[in-house]
Chain A
């Protein structure tokens, strides 16, 4: 198992904090959880703990971005994208201000806290905002790259992180690029397009499928907006079936984005969507929740089999 994504994030933002004086970090009283406190400890004069005022925090970040700062705004993804959404729409999207929204505790990763703390609609909400890029971190290496990219690339971004650890799913030295996805496992019978911690789950599913003679390709679609339409179309044509896998509602997230690409391309291949089936979660151990709601390797493998059988 790799490191917890949040720990990687805290270390990474601290590390890159030295490279650019304009980086400022804001948190809403959960800096010990999101790990933004790691930056705060090293750069106290560039760290703003705004208390439990997510909306004001997003607005303050907008003012800082307007002043040439690069604000990283942190709290749990569910609160950031709901309480912060009007500021996100007005200042990040409409005004184009260079704000980096860092959604901690993505998906079901705040498992025991229950449905009120799960982020299962954030990708859908952020994806509709014109001009806002949306990315989802799947392992330690890509988390590092996302933070670096957020610093170096001017423009508003929403980056979804996780509370939990993810197995490394990219080889050392892998080159990522905004607007691109990456094939992490080759296969010719079906393509599993996943994001976040579901990428390693999809790889595990592909191994199970291989035992049954089904060769599944796995794509890490780490950048959901702008999305790599070219790669999606090529995978659909080459493998003839698609499964999307995300810790998110099947409505409007990665599954929705992939379906939009396939529909526009007139690429009618059997498609299955693994995700939360238009419902909320509950409290429980993370692994138990993933199993119950059909987000584990068995469920992804079963979806792939269904997709293949529909060819």
Chain B
């Protein structure tokens, strides 16, 4: 990735973080922690690696991004609005009555949302099904599935891994938002998964570890994943839950807590960088 591109993506991420805090403060509901940790992952995909625009959204040849960890919907919506799938103005309606922007992504209502996700784990086999269909029909596209690291507690994630290996799903690129924190505490406290990389390797995956807050590193990891044929790849993206807002970082309590006035002031000051 060129340094200009990286600068552009970093600026977008800062803008998304500021918008996120503003919106969640306005509506007093929604999930800040996981939205902040997945910001660079989504931004690298939507604004660099993935071939997806409102214009090609109906074409099978587009790349598909499936946010399995659906509670990061606010960040997904910011990306989609910036891409032009719907007006940024609509973000104000998030989680409100009669809105297209549901608390968790809804594929029927919201332009650009590929799958209704939220029940953790469920989106992953769907992503595999999309990738397998494209592979069967020789469609030159990738499906990106973004998993949370709490989400991998779900048995269906591992059922899907077995199927992805069996069916040689090299068009499925999984990205783990590896922030180490789930709703009730750290992943270590709540459900210690052990050696995550070794586990995915044991399920037949090509694994790549990278800094999940470095768009250039993510972009390189995606390119590396694409070069591996015959087996599925997972990018283990090391992230920080609540990234960018010091008092939210690494705190499970910020998984879904409302952003109060005093939090808002401090957070916006910290995110005060160039617009």
Contact = CB atoms under 8 A, between A and B. Distances in A.
B122 interface: yes
B159 interface: yes
Interface residues of A, number: 30
B115 A95 contact: yes
B12 interface: no
A267 interface: no
Contact of A60 (B108, B126, B137, B155): B126
Nearest to A58: B125
Given A46-B136, A64-B133, 18 more contacts: A51-B166, A56-B128, A56-B160, A56-B162, A57-B125, A59-B123, A59-B125, A59-B126, A59-B129, A63-B129, A66-B114, A66-B115, A69-B133, A71-B129, A87-B122, A90-B117, A91-B116, A91-B122
B156 A59 contact: yes
A64 B132 contact: yes
Given A45-B136, A63-B131, A67-B60, A86 B122 contact: yes
A282 to B, nearest CB: 29
B211 interface: no
Contact of B126 (A24, A46, A53, A91): A91
Interface residues of B, number: 34
B108 A56 contact: no
Contacts of B116: 90-91, 94-95
B132 A48 contact: yes
Interface string B121-144: 111111111111110110000000
Contact of A63 (B118, B132, B137, B155): B132
B87 interface: no
B247 interface: no
Contacts of A64: 129-130, 132-133
B119 A90 contact: yes
Interface string B30-66: 0000000000000000000000000000001000000
17 contacts: A56-B163, A59-B122, A60-B128, A60-B163, A62-B125, A63-B115, A63-B128, A63-B133, A66-B130, A67-B129, A67-B134, A90-B116, A90-B117, A91-B116, A91-B126, A94-B106, A95-B107
A230 to B, nearest CB: 30
Contacts of B134: 67
A86 B117 CA distance: 11
B129 A90 contact: no
Nearest to A95: B116
A39 interface: no
A295 interface: no
A57 B159 CA distance: 9
A107 interface: no
Given A48-B167, A53-B159, A56-B160, A63 B127 contact: yes
A23 B163 CA distance: 19
Q: Which 3 A-B pairs have the closest CB atoms?
A: A63-B129, A59-B125, A67-B133
A105 interface: no
Contacts of B125: 55-60, 62-63, 87
Count chain A CB atoms within 10 A of each CB in B60, B124, B133, B160 and give the residue with the most.
Answer: B133
Nearest to B113: A95
Contacts of B137: 67
Interface in B206-229: none
Interface of A: 24, 45-46, 48, 50-51, 53, 55-69, 71, 86-87, 90-91, 94-96
Interface of B: 60, 106-108, 114-119, 121-134, 136-137, 155-156, 159-160, 162-163, 166-167
B139 to A, nearest CB: 9
B129 A62 contact: yes
B202 to A, nearest CB: 16
A59 B128 contact: yes
A86 B126 contact: no
Contacts of B107: 66, 95
Count chain A CB atoms within 10 A of each CB in B124, B132, B159 and give the residue with the most.
Answer: B159
Given A48-B132, A64-B129, A94-B116, A59 B108 contact: no
A232 B118 CA distance: 39
Contacts of B60: 67-68
Count chain A CB atoms within 10 A of each CB in B116, B119, B121 and give the residue with the most.
Answer: B116
A50 B117 CA distance: 22
A94 to B, nearest CB: 5
B155 A55 contact: yes
Given A64-B129, A66-B126, A67-B133, A56 B156 contact: yes
A59 to B, nearest CB: 3
Contact of A55 (B123, B128, B156): B156
A61 B130 CA distance: 9
Contacts of A24: 133
B245 to A, nearest CB: 31
Contacts of B117: 90
A51 B132 contact: no
A71 B133 CA distance: 11
